[in-house]
Homo-oligomer: A and B are copies of this chain.
Amino acid sequence: MDQPSPGDVRAESPDGTVVVALDVGGTGIKCALVDLDGTPRHLERHPTGADRGADAVVDTIVTVAAGLADRARAAGDTPVAVGLAVPGVVDEAAGVAVWSANLGFRDVPLRDLVGARLGLPAALGHDVRTGGLAEARLGAGRGEDHVLFVAIGTGIAAAHVVGGAAAAGAHGAAGELGHVVVRPGGPRCGCGQSGCLEAVASAAGVGRRYAELTGTPATAAEVAALARAGEPAAVRVWAETVDALADGLVVAQALLDVRTIVLGGGLAEAGADLLDPLRVALRHRLTFHREPRLVRATLGDEAGCLGAALLALDT
């Protein structure tokens, strides 16, 4: 059932203690053993098998976590905590996965289930918030006190990390930058509103908009490449995307006043093709606002998993 493991990242933990970390997504579970300084020691991945239902997914999570703890012990290390990240609405304080469409979860007390099975203190976080935590403390925002991490993929979500902690909100639903309305009366969003940032500027939104204009399906990466080559429809869609993202980021900056915005997720893989025009469009919109530094995430798709480990170490 295991996919090929990326293997050992570092030979051994400096003080013999590690954290077991799992980032549970709709298709795969990213796993790590992480040193106390946030360095990943061992990485592995497993399929989520979400089609088997929530109970089976919980069983897999527990089994994989226990396997990681055993692996650490077999290597002579001591697992001291478990960190878990899941998508959806997460009540971090209660340790409950309140709702996750991708995993079929509703009110799953995942923190206590896994903690009890492993006999270790456990923490549960929201995948984008743990990703933001890791980028803010170990990645592109390292050393910064006010960071907004924005993940742009199939959807768009953000994590506001201040003083090394990600804001969860009163109900575990903070950071929904993708559902800020930037185009009133614009495209219908899956959330029920119209003109949400996510409906316009997510990777899915980019592909959909290009297909509307040309009749040709394309991924966001393909649209980015076509835009770079000067294909008119792609140039237009990319410009609309940059404009909408700038509108969304300026709203966030008015409310949050961060020092650094870290862009992650699939769309950020366009690199300078996204960040350079976005920086210009953002600067063009700023009036009284302080200009935030706009940078690309550096931890890749392990960020959520590393952040889950940080969360476990914080508690």
A residues apposed to B, CB below 8 Å: 145-146, 158, 160, 162, 167-177, 179-184, 191-193, 247, 250-252, 254-259, 285, 287-290, 292
Contact among B160, B192, B258 for A287, CB-based, below 8 A = B192
Quick check: A179 and B146 within 8 Å, CB to CB? no
Contact among B170, B193, B251, B290 for A181, CB-based, below 8 A = B251
Quick check: A256 and B169 within 8 Å, CB to CB? yes
Chain B nearest CB: distance from A175 CB in Å? 7
- List the B side residues contacting A160 at CB < 8 Å: 255
Known: A176-B289, A179-B289. 9 other contacts (CB 8 A): A170-B259, A170-B290, A173-B288, A176-B255, A176-B257, A181-B251, A193-B285, A252-B255, A255-B255
- List the B side residues contacting A167 at CB < 8 Å: 162, 256
Chain B nearest CB: distance from A176 CB in Å? 4
Quick check: B288 and A191 within 8 Å, CB to CB? yes
- Listed from nearest, the 3 A-B pairs whose CB atoms lie closest are A169-B257, A192-B287, A146-B170
Quick check: A255 and B173 within 8 Å, CB to CB? no
Quick check: A174 and B287 within 8 Å, CB to CB? no
Chain B nearest CB: distance from A152 CB in Å? 16
The complex places the Cα of A247 from the Cα of B179 at a distance, in Å, of: 12
The complex places the Cα of A257 from the Cα of B287 at a distance, in Å, of: 26
Quick check: B254 and A180 within 8 Å, CB to CB? yes
Per DSSP, chain A at the interface is: loop
Chain B nearest CB: distance from A197 CB in Å? 10
The complex places the Cα of A289 from the Cα of B196 at a distance, in Å, of: 13
- List the B side residues contacting A285 at CB < 8 Å: 193
- List the B side residues contacting A177 at CB < 8 Å: 254-255
The complex places the Cα of A259 from the Cα of B168 at a distance, in Å, of: 12
Contact among B158, B162, B289 for A173, CB-based, below 8 A = B289
The complex places the Cα of A61 from the Cα of B174 at a distance, in Å, of: 39
Quick check: A169 and B287 within 8 Å, CB to CB? no
Chain B nearest CB: distance from A202 CB in Å? 15
The complex places the Cα of A179 from the Cα of B286 at a distance, in Å, of: 11
The complex places the Cα of A192 from the Cα of B283 at a distance, in Å, of: 13
Chain B nearest CB: distance from A265 CB in Å? 17
- List the B side residues contacting A257 at CB < 8 Å: 168-176
Chain B nearest CB: distance from A160 CB in Å? 8
The complex places the Cα of A171 from the Cα of B257 at a distance, in Å, of: 7
The complex places the Cα of A172 from the Cα of B167 at a distance, in Å, of: 18
Which of A173, A255, A290 has the largest number of chain B CB atoms within 10 A? A255
Quick check: B258 and A256 within 8 Å, CB to CB? no
- List the B side residues contacting A182 at CB < 8 Å: 184
The complex places the Cα of A171 from the Cα of B286 at a distance, in Å, of: 14
Quick check: A193 and B146 within 8 Å, CB to CB? no
- List the B side residues contacting A145 at CB < 8 Å: 170
Contact among B175, B247, B289 for A255, CB-based, below 8 A = B175
